[in-house]
Amino acid sequence: MWTLLPPLLALLALAGGAAFTPDRDLLECASQILYMDQHVYDIPKSYNRNNPPDKNTTVYVGVNVNRVSGVDENKEEITLDVFLQVSWADSRLHVPPNMPFIDLPWEFRALIWTPDLYIWQLQTMRILSVLQEMASLRLYSNRTVSVSIGATITIKCEMDFVLYPLDVQNCAMDFSSYKYTTQDVRFEWRAVAPWLGIGPVGSEQRNHFRLPKYVVTFVTDKSNHIRTFGEGEHSAARMQIKLSRELRSYLLESYLPSSLFVIISWGSFCVIPEIVPGRMVLLVTTLLSLVTMFDTVSTNSPDALELKCIEVWLISCTIFVFLALMEYFVVLFGIRYDKSWSRRRADLRRAASAAQLAPPPLHINHSQRLSTPVTGTPQGGVFSPTLSVEEDGFKQQMEHQTIQRDSPILESMPSGNGPSSFLMRLGAKVDRGVMFCGAQHGTLDKFALMLFPMCFCLFTIIYWTTYLSEAHRASAARFK
C-alpha cells in the first residue's frame, strides 16, 4: 500500500488541487490508485465516446424531490431540491471480476458516452456541495452506468390565474435529448436504478408537499412524449407538477369579511329613513371597507389577463352595498317629494270642500226642477237641502283618492291616444312610484329587505357552482 503513496502524491501535485482534466493517462492512474486490490480498470481501446452504446438506447430517469424551496407566482417559477439519477446500459464497459460495482471519479464521465440530457423548462441548475459536489458516477457488474446528482433546479411554469384563488396550476418537467432522436435514444421513467430490482414508485414514497399557499403534487407520466424540433422527433420523459392552492386562508381573509359587510349593509333597511347620519355612516363605511379590500387583494395577487375569481366576488359585494346606498337615496327623494305632495293634497281638500258647500246652480229649467226631487230637513224654519246620490258619490271618490295618496296628474289626464296622453300616463306612473318610495311606513325598505338577501344568495350559488366546476375541470386536465 505504501508503494502507492508516491504516485498518489505525484497525481495530486499534477492536478494542483483542482478538478481532474479529461486526460486518459491521468484517469487511468487515478483508477489504479482507486482499486488497490490489483484490479486496474481500463477502457477498451475500440471504445468511442461519441456514439451511443446501442441502437435505440434506453435512458432511465429518476427524480427524488427532497424539498420544494419556493413558488414565485410573479416570475412563474418553481424551485426544487432534487436528487437526479440517470442510468443506461453500456455493453462496451466491464467491471473487474467479483465486484458488484465500482465508483469512478466524477471526471471520468468525460471518457465515456453520457446522454445529452436536457430539461426543457429549466431556468437554472446548481449542483449541491458541502465538502465536495454531490455527484457520483458508478458502473455496475451488469454494465449499467449510473449518474447521481444532488441539485437545486428552477423551472419555468406557465401559470393562469383567472381562477385565483381556486386555480390549479399544472406544470411539466420534460427530460429529453437535444441531439439524439427517438431512433437513437429513448427516455423512460424509473423510480430507482433497474439493477436493484425495485419496482415503480410505491405508496410509501412522498409525492406531495404542503406549502403555506400550495399543495404541490408530483406525478410521473408513463406515456411516451415526443418533442419535435431540429432533425426529427426526440423522446422525452415527463413529470407533472400540480399546484393546488390552500383555500382556507382566502376564505377567512377575503370571502368571509366581504360577505359580512354585505349582510351588515342590509341592517340599514331597518333604520328609520329620517335618521340620515346613522344610516349614511353605516352604508358609506361598509362601501369604503370593500373598496379598500379590493385594492389590497388586487395589489397582492398575481396578474392575470382577465378579472380573477376573487376580484369578481369583491366587485359583486361592492355593487350590492352600492345598490343599498342608492336605495336609500331613492327613499330620501321620495320622502322629500311626499312632503311637497302633502301641501298639494291639503289644497285639493280645501278645493273639494269649497265645491261641495257651494250653492247649486240657478240655471235649471222647469222640467228639471219638477223631475229632480229635493230632499232636506227643516231646521228652525229653514229648509236645508242635502246632496243627491251623484254628488255624494263624487265626494266619496274624492276622499278615497286622497286616502290612497294618488297623484292629481292621473285625475287631470286628458283622454286620447296622442303623445301628450302617453307622457301624462307615464308621468302618473312615475309619480305613483315616487310616492311609494317615500311612504312613511317604509314600504320600499321592507321590499328591499326581502329582495337583497334573495339576490345575494342566488349570486353566491351561481358563483361557487361556476368557479368550482371550472377549477375541477382544470384540476383534471392533462397535458396533451
Ordered structural domains, the chain, with CATH: 19-246 (2.70.170.10), 250-355+395-461 (1.20.58.390)
- Cα separation, 335 vs 250, in Å, equals 42
pLDDT classification of 93: cutoffs 50, 70, 90: confident
pLDDT classification of 376: cutoffs 50, 70, 90: very low
- Cα separation, 259 vs 464, in Å, equals 13
The amino acid sitting at 378 is: P
95: nearest Cα among 134, 43, 56, 163: 43
pLDDT classification of 38: cutoffs 50, 70, 90: very low
| Ordered strands of the 168-177 beta sheet | 117-119, 168-177, 232-245, 214-229, 208-210
Region 10-19: mean pLDDT is 43
pLDDT classification of 456: cutoffs 50, 70, 90: very high
Portion of the chain with pLDDT greater than 70, in percent: 65
Cell numbers at 165, concatenated: 384563488
Query: In degrees, to the nearest 5, what angle opens at C-alpha 134 toward C-alphas 73 and 125?
Result: 30
Q: Give the model's pLDDT for residue 135.
A: 92
- Cα separation, 418 vs 441, in Å, equals 37
Query: In degrees, to the nearest 5, what angle opens at C-alpha 438 toward C-alphas 328 and 456?
Result: 40
Cell numbers at 446, concatenated: 321592507
pLDDT classification of 225: cutoffs 50, 70, 90: confident
The amino acid sitting at 258 is: S
On whether the pTM is more than 0.85, the answer is: no
Does residue 472 register a pLDDT over 60? yes
Long-range Cβ contact pairs of 334-342 (< 8 A, separation 24 or more) = 334/434, 334/435, 334/436, 334/437, 334/438, 334/439, 334/444, 335/273, 335/274, 335/438, 335/440, 336/438, 337/434, 337/435, 337/438, 338/435, 338/438, 338/439, 338/440, 341/405, 341/407, 341/435
Q: Give the model's pLDDT for residue 54.
A: 84
pLDDT tens across 316-331, in order?
999 999 999 998 888 8
Phi, psi of 206 (to 5 degrees): -75, 125
The Cβ of residue 55 has, within 10 Å, a number of other Cβ atoms equal to: 8
Cell numbers at 454, concatenated: 334573495
Q: What is the mean pLDDT of the chain?
A: 76
318: nearest Cα among 280, 284, 276: 284
Q: Give the model's pLDDT for residue 198.
A: 31
Q: Give the model's pLDDT for residue 290.
A: 96
- Cα separation, 137 vs 41, in Å, equals 14
Does residue 196 register a pLDDT over 50? no
Region 441-455: mean pLDDT is 84
- Cα separation, 186 vs 57, in Å, equals 6
The answer for residues whose C-beta is within 8 angstroms of residue 24's C-beta and 6 or more apart is: 43, 111
* Helices then strands, each counted (H, E), the chain: 11, 14
